[in-house]
Structure 1
């Protein structure tokens, strides 16, 4: 049975992937873990970088003696998976990204981080603040929000996935985005797809960004189809 590692998005947690994990367990050895600062895990330092998150994936594989694995990465998790693939491609069989933001610039980072103020979240969306507090307890969710904002600002200044680096990722990749995603555009997803030499593109109809609104069963079907395609084709033909 092949391995698959599920990676959550920014401000998310491994617990959010539990239904998807269950939906895939008949077909794969399924693993999940929390990035530092998420799901109750302490931050390793006052802030984190995308390079650090990619390194955390590698450390997890080593600790669990996983020689290689497929990876599903939602949002930030997809960016971390592709970042890791630049340094350690032999450890990854394939990558399926969903709702991953590729178009990072100073302007895009400023726009994203304008929403990442703990005080604004508490004032304008107190229910979301309560959800974050519960999701990341006993850690301070406000510290995580600030660290995430700094991560985005850093990506805005120094993106890892660029027109120069994406063509270096030779392994099979499927990039998926919802046609109603208000955070990630189909244009930036297609841009990444065109630069990845061994890729497939999927635009999911009627699909928004929040993972909670997605069907774990439907996602599991898309993942199985992609990995089956990888298994029977030594090279994924762009579609």
Structure 2
């Protein structure tokens, strides 16, 4: 393969279009410039494998945005970044990063280009964020949708509300959907410790109070499912329905071991055992956004918050206490969940008379981060709406 062939191949691989199509005006006006771009740049440094294509497109967006004055080129590389698996949230975070090193004028111009490309590509707008004061701490609540039944989403231990972002757009069709950071996580990191499952249940209800919601459809995954159950036991009149995803109704011995490991070994040591519980080998190999997001959250987690959360989760004590409560319940298991297995999840369903049990094929523990389309479809079918 000669340099020209390599350049054409790399251009198409990065940008998704043949260079003759994308750079047609350049080719007609200056064949020499076309050759310099395709053969020289894309057939040279940009074709080397030391930097992945995704990393190269992020670097290209940052450099062009920081230099300024090349908005059409910037838009091309924003499209290229999306093609390489960069998430819209990562591009928006990159604009914030640029503001620190290149100044706000450059960052705001870049943000405008990113927003234009996202709109062009049909990417939904991000949820609206609200700062909410709860007992002894502040948190962030993400809202999608402004009418219809209220739905509150409680995330897994170790991440934050954005775990739900891949399903929020579909769920917000005819619903008001709220996802929040619970104590020790995201915007609520460093909240007073120790805390209990009852504290976390009270916080969930406090979020509903902040939005004047009397009754909501409560959805929780993993520890968030424990919180959802604790809230249902504490205040069943506030719960219109309950959806339990990849969770448990009783503590595991491993909870205290994980708390101690965070304290003694640090967060880097938690990455491998946590991600291998959460994701399939295929996802870990391909490293999509959900895996990258989870990895960075664990790496950056405060070990004290990590230990406090596991010790709070150790206090989950709702087994058998949901029987007889008067609201529909969905129990949603992942076929490939190595943490809260289908056997564990079906046991929960058996202990809640009248509940509905479903098993999502090919789905691991982190359901919304690896198979969001299956989760969104199951919840959309279960939850009422006014559409």
Which category describes the TM-score, using the shorter chain as reference length? Answer: 0.7 to 0.9
1:206 has 2:362 as partner:
yes
Q: TM-score, normalised by structure 1?
A: 0.80
- Picking from 149, 152, 166, the partner of 2:322 is 166
Provide the residue aligned with 2:167 in structure 1: 20
Which is bigger in relative contact order (C-alpha 8 A, separation at least 6)?
A: 1
Provide the residue aligned with 2:212 in structure 1: 65
Contact 1:13 1:38 in 2 (8 A): yes
With 219-228 and 118-127 compared, the bigger mean Cα shift is at 118-127
Q: Deviations over 1:197-224 (max 9, x none)?
A: 2311111111111246423232111012
Q: Which has the higher helix share?
A: 2
Contact 1:6 1:71 in 2 (8 A): yes
Contact 1:11 1:144 in 2 (8 A): no
Provide the residue aligned with 1:147 in structure 2: 308
Provide the residue aligned with 2:241 in structure 1: 94
Provide the residue aligned with 1:175 in structure 2: 331
The structure having more radius of gyration, on CA atoms, is 2
- Which segments of 5 or more consecutive residues in structure 1 lack a partner in the other structure? 135-139, 232-239
Contact 1:97 1:174 in 2 (8 A): yes
Provide the residue aligned with 1:184 in structure 2: 340
Alignment of 1:111-122 (within 5 A): 112-113=258-259, 116-117=262-263, 119-122=265-268
Deviation at 1:181, TM superposition (A): 0.6
Provide the residue aligned with 1:132 in structure 2: 298
Deviation at 1:125, TM superposition (A): 3.5
Provide the residue aligned with 1:77 in structure 2: 224
Contact 1:13 1:34 in 2 (8 A): yes
SS in 2 for 1:160: coil
Q: 1: distance between equivalents of 2:156 and 2:235?
A: 21
SS in 2 for 1:21: helix
1:7 has 2:154 as partner:
yes
Q: 2: distance between equivalents of 1:96 and 1:68?
A: 14
Provide the residue aligned with 1:220 in structure 2: 376
Deviation at 1:84, TM superposition (A): 0.9
Q: 1:133 to 1:58 in 2, by over 3 A?
A: same
Provide the residue aligned with 2:353 in structure 1: 197
Q: 1:213 to 1:109 in 2, by over 3 A?
A: same
Q: TM-score, normalised by structure 2?
A: 0.51
Q: 1:174 to 1:12 in 2, by over 3 A?
A: same
Deviation at 1:194, TM superposition (A): 1.1
Provide the residue aligned with 2:255 in structure 1: 109
Deviation at 1:19, TM superposition (A): 2.2
